[in-house]
Structure 1
Amino acid sequence: MRRDPDLRTVRPVRQVLVVADNVTAMTRLLDVVDLFEGDFRVGLEFAWNSADPTPNGLADLFAAKGVFPLPPEEIGDSRFDLAITAGHSGLSGIRAPIVSVPHGIRYTKVVPEAGSRKPEAGSRKPEAGSRKPEAFGLSRDLVVHDGVPIPSAIVLSHHEQWARLRAAAPEAADVAHVIGDPCYDRLRASATWRLRYRRALGADDGETVLAISSTWREESLLGEVSELYERLLAELPVDEFRLVAILHPHIWYQHGPDAVHRWLAPHERSGLLVVPPERGWRAALVAADQLIGDHGSVTAYGAAIGLPTSLAAFPESRVAAGSAVAVLGSLAPRLDLAQPLLPQLQKAAAEHTPAKAAAVHEMITSCPDEAADRLRALCYSMLELDEPRTEPGVPPDTTAGLPDAPWPWRPTAMYVTGSVHSGRSVALDRYPAEMLRPEQIPSRSHLVVAADHPGRRMRAVADIAVLTDATAWGRHARTWLSDALSAQPGLQLAAAVDGGTCTVRTRSGEQVRLSGTGEPALHASAVFEWLAAGRDLADLSPGLTVNGHLVSVDLH
C-alpha cells in the first residue's frame, strides 16, 4: 500500500532504497544501513527484489527490523537518490545510482556452467561459445549491460577481487571501490564479547565449543555428510564439548524452518544447538574453539579469526581459484568420516598455527576494521551530503540467537557411567542416548531421561527421570517426584532441577538437595552411583565433588 507523503513528520532531503533479494542478503545489508543512523536528512525505504526466487522469511525479517517495505511494483515507479543492494538480479529497473555491496565473501564460488542461469530480460546475455568457469558475481553479464556497468559503485573487500573484476569486465572495474568487509569487521569487533557468548552457550573454561558450518546446495556439509552431526554427538564427550550448528539461510528458507528442526530434532535433544538464520552465527564463531565447515563464507570467516578448521565437504571444482576460500582449502585438513573424529579434531588443533589464520585473513580484506568508514564516505559522496559528525558504528553482536536457558543444549536422554573415589568424589561420563547404536551403549551405565522427552519407550526404561523445569512447577515439583516413582516401577530415582539445585528422591522416600557450579542434572547421577556403590544416602559427604565441581549436600 502506498504511503501518503503529506502525512510524514520528518521530510528527508535524500531517499535511499535498500533492495533485499533474500534473507541472506538482508542480513548483510543490516550491517550497512546503520551507517545512516542519527541523520534526519536521509530516509530509507526497503523493498524485496522480486527477481530473486527465494523471498521466504524476508517479510518476517522486515517486520523484526520494524520497516514497512515498498511493494515491488513501486521500485520502478519511484526515483531515489541512491539504491543499495547485495544482489545481482533485477537491477535494471531501479531509477537511482546503485551501490552493490558484498553478499558474504565475494567471488568465492564458481558458476556451474556458463550460460546455465536464466538470463534477466534486457540485462543478462550469456556470451556465445564456451568459456572458463567464472566466480559468481564476477561474470561480465552480471555487472555490465550494453557496455555500461549496471551498478554505479561496486564494493569490494580486497584488491585481489578488483584485479579479477578488471580482467573479466574492465568497465565494471572502473566503478569498483575496495573498502573492506563490513560483516568481517563486525565479527572482529565482537571478539571482546567472547566470554559473554560462551556463557550463553553454557561453556566453562575447560570445555570446547565446536562450531559446525554448512553453506547450501547438495555439495555442502549438510548436503554431503548430514550424518556428521550424529557422529560428533555420539563420539565427543558430552561434558567436554558444546556443539553449535550454523546453517546457511537458504537452507532454512528453501526447505523451511519446520523441516530443519524436524530433521535435527533428535540432535538438538542430544546437545546440538542450532542458531537461527538471522542472528547468532557471528557470536557462535567468536565463542568457538574449533570449527568444522565447507566452502561457505562462514567457514572462511571462522578460519580467518583463528579457529582451527577442518573441512567435512569441499568441492574443489566449485571454488574460485585465488579466492579466500581457495586459500582455506589449501591449508585446512579434510575430515575423514571413516575414522574416529575426536583424534582428528585433536590433531587439527595441535597442528594449527597463527600463520594459517593470517593467510585467510589477508585474502578476506585489504582494509581490516575500515569498512564502515570507507563505505559511509562512499555513500555520502554519492548522495552529495556531508557525513554526520558521529563515527559510524561497528558494534559487537549481542547474544540474540544464543540460548537464554541452560537445558536446551544438554542431552535430554543420556547413558551415564560413573565411579566413586575416596568417599568424597564422583566421576561421571555421559553419552547422548539417541545418538548411540546399541553396540555403542557403555556397559554398566544408567539411563537418565528428561520428563518431557518425547520417546515413550525411553522414558519407560529410564533409571532416573529428571524434571528439568521445576521452577515453573513451584511446590508441585515435590508431588511430581513421588508421582514419577509411583508411576514407573523400574525407576530408581526421580530428580527435579530448580535453577542450580537438584532435588533427588529415592524409592524409599529419602530426599537430598544438591547444588553447586556444575550442571544440576549431573547430581542425580552422582547420587545413583553413590547408592550403586553400596553407600547410604545419609553418608553423602558435605565436601562432595562431582566431575571436579564442589557440591553442597542438604539431606531432608
Structure 2
Amino acid sequence: MRRRVLGVVRTLTALDRLLDVLPVLADDMRVETRFSIARGSEFSADLDDHLHRIGARIADWGEATPASFDFAISPSGNGPLHELGIPLMTLPHGAGHHKLRATDEGVATEVSGLSRTQLTHRGEVVPTVVGLSHDDQLDVLRRHCPEALPRAEVIGDPCFARLRASLPVREHYRDALGTEHRTLVLVASTWGGESLFGREGDLAAELVAELPAADYQVALVLHPNIWAKYGRYQIESWTWTARRRGLVLVPPLRSWQAALVAADVVVSDHGSLAFYAAALGTPLLLAAFGEHEIAPGSPMSLLGARAGRLRRGDLKSQLDGAQPVPDHDHLAAMAFQDRPYQRLRDVVYRCLELEPPSWPAAAEPVDVFSP
C-alpha cells in the first residue's frame, strides 16, 4: 500500500533542513513525497523557484488534505499548520532549540519551537509528533508546553550526523572549493540586528583585503533569511570587490555544509552554523553574539561563554591562533542525540503504518559545493 508524505516549508531554511530529513524515505517505492508552502513568512521570497530547481512537485496549500496525504513533516512550528488536518511532525530547523521565540518587539521568554504559541491552536496541540534533538529538551518542553510532552520524540540532528560523516573525506570538499594548501576561513552569519552581518557586515571583505591570497581563502555564508530579505542582486553588489579579489560567496541552499566541512577556522555569531562548527571541533571565533536572543542554560549559551572572540585589529594573528571550543565533544553530546537517522525513520514509518525498509538508516556525507 502506498503512502504520500507532505514536506511543509515556510522559508528556505526549513527547506534546507527538510532535505536532510527526507533521505530516510530514499529508495522506498511505497512512499511518494510532495511539498507545500506554508505562507505567511516575510522570508519566503523565491521559495517556489528553489523547489522547482530541485525538481520538487508542489501541492497547493488547499490541496494538502487528509484525503491526499498520509503524513506531513515541517521543520518549523510556525505557520497555519493547524489547517492541514494531517498527522504532522515538527522538527527544529537549526542546531536544536536554543533561541528565544522572535516577536515583532524582539524576543519572548519562550524557547522557539517549543512554545505553546507555536505548538497549539485554540488550546489543542497541533503536531502529532514534536521532534527533539536531545532528551534534555524534554524538560524545556515540559516548562513551556506540557500538554505537548506526550507527543515528544527524541530524534537527534540529521544535519550534524551528515556533517560528521563527511569529515573522513574532508579533502574532497577542499579540492572542490579550490582551497588546496591554503587556510580556509569561513565567515558565517545568522540573521537579525545582533548577527555578524548586522554588526560587522564588511568583515569578509576586510579579511579578503588583509589576508594574503596565496595563503588564505575566505568564504562567506549568509543565513537564507538575509538572501530572502535583500535578494541575490543586492548581496552580490555588496560583495562585488571582495568576490573579484577571491571571496567565495556560498549560495543559500545545500552548500554551506560543504564549506563548513572544508573550513580550517570559522568566524561566526549565535547562529546554528557556529554551533555545528564548535561541535565538530573546528576552531571558532565569535565576531558577534546576540546573548539576549539565546535561551538561558542552553548549549548555545554555553558556547557563547566558552568560544574565543574576534576583535578588530591584527585579524591574521587572531585567525592563526584560533582554537576549538574547549570540551567541544561534551558540547556536542549536550545538544545532539545519537543515531538520528534510525530514530527518525522509526518514528516516520510508525506514523505511516509501514514496516521500515530492511536496509540500514545511516547518514550520508553532505553534497559537494564548487564555486
State the secondary structure of the residue aligned to 1:53. Answer: coil
Q: Cα gap change, 1:239/1:356 in structure 2, threshold over 3 Å: closer, same or farther?
A: farther
Deviation at 1:308, TM superposition (A): 1.1
**1:274-295: CA deviation from partner (whole Å, max 9, x where unpaired):** 1111122111111111110000
Counterpart of 2:69 in structure 1 is: 80
Question: What code does the residue aligned with 1:52 have?
Answer: S
Corresponding position of 1:323: 298
Q: Which residue of 2 aligns with 1:229?
A: 204
Is residue 99 from structure 1 mapped to residue 77 from structure 2 by the alignment?
Answer: no
Q: 1:153 pairs with 108, 113, 129, which one?
A: 129
For residue 144 of structure 1, what is the aligned residue in structure 2? 120
Q: Which moved more, 1:55-64 or 1:80-89?
A: 55-64
1:332 aligns to 2:307 (yes or no): yes
Residue 63 of structure 2 aligns to a residue whose secondary structure is helix
Query: Are the equivalent residues in 1 in contact too, given 2:102–2:108 (CA < 8 A)?
Result: no
Residue by residue over 1:306-340, the C-alpha shift from the partner in whole angstroms, topping out at 9 and shown as x without a partner, is: 11111001011111112222121011112112x22
1:342 equivalent to 2:332? Answer: no
Matched, 1:362 2:336: no
Equivalent in the alignment of 1:380? 349
1:86 positional shift: 0.9
1:96 to partner: Cα distance: 1.1
Question: C-alpha distance in 1, partners of 2:367/2:96?
Answer: 25
Residue 78 (structure 1) shift: 4.2
Q: Map 1:455-494 to 2 at 5 A.
A: none
Opposite residue 357 of structure 1, the aligned amino acid is H
The 2-side partners of 1:272 and 1:238 are apart by 10
Where relative contact order (Cα < 8 A, 6+ residues apart) is larger, the structure is 2
Q: Any gaps of 5 or more consecutive residues in structure 1?
A: 1-11, 118-130, 404-556
Aligned partner of 1:392: which letter? Answer: A
Residue identity matched to 2:46: G
CA distance in 2, matches of 1:271, 1:257: 18
Kindly provide the amino acid, as one letter, of the partner of residue 376 in structure 1: R
**SS of the residue 1:15 aligns to:** strand
- Work out which of the residue numbers 264, 268, 279 in structure 2 matches 1:289: 264
Instruction: Output aligned runs, 1:39-438, within 5 Å.
Output: 39-76=28-65, 78-88=67-77, 89-112=79-102, 133-205=109-181, 207-337=182-312, 339-349=313-323, 352=324, 355-367=326-338, 370-400=339-369, 402-403=370-371
CA distance in 1, matches of 2:96, 2:126: 17
- The 3 A distance-change label for structure 1 pair 250 and 387 is same
What does the per-residue CA deviation read over 1:371-424, in whole Å, with 9 as the maximum and x for residues that have no partner? 111101101111111001122352212323x22xxxxxxxxxxxxxxxxxxxxx
CA distance in 1, matches of 2:349, 2:29: 13
Letter in 1 for 2:81: L
CA distance 1:132–1:203, shift in 2 (3 Å): closer
1:303 deviation in Å? 1.1
Contact preservation (8 Å) 1:80, 1:95: no
Aligned length: 370
| Structure 2: segments with no counterpart, 5+ residues | none
Deviation digits for residues 121-142 of structure 1, max 9, x if unmatched?
xxxxxxxxxx972222222111
Q: Under a length normalisation based on structure 1, what TM-score does the superposition of the two structures give?
A: 0.64
Distance 1:365 1:282 in 2: 17
* Bigger radius of gyration: 1
For the residues of structure 2 that align with 1:144 and 1:48, how far apart are their CA atoms?
Answer: 20
Superposition RMSD in Å: 1.9
Q: Which amino acid aligns with 2:95?
A: I
Percentage identity across aligned positions? 37
Distance in 2, Cα, partners of 1:112 & 1:139: 11
**CA positional deviation for 1:79:** 4.4
Q: Indicate if the aligned counterparts of 1:78 and 1:95 stay in contact, CA closer than 8 A.
A: no
The answer as to whether partners of 1:144 and 1:171 remain within 8 angstroms in 2 is no
Shift of 1:346: 2.6
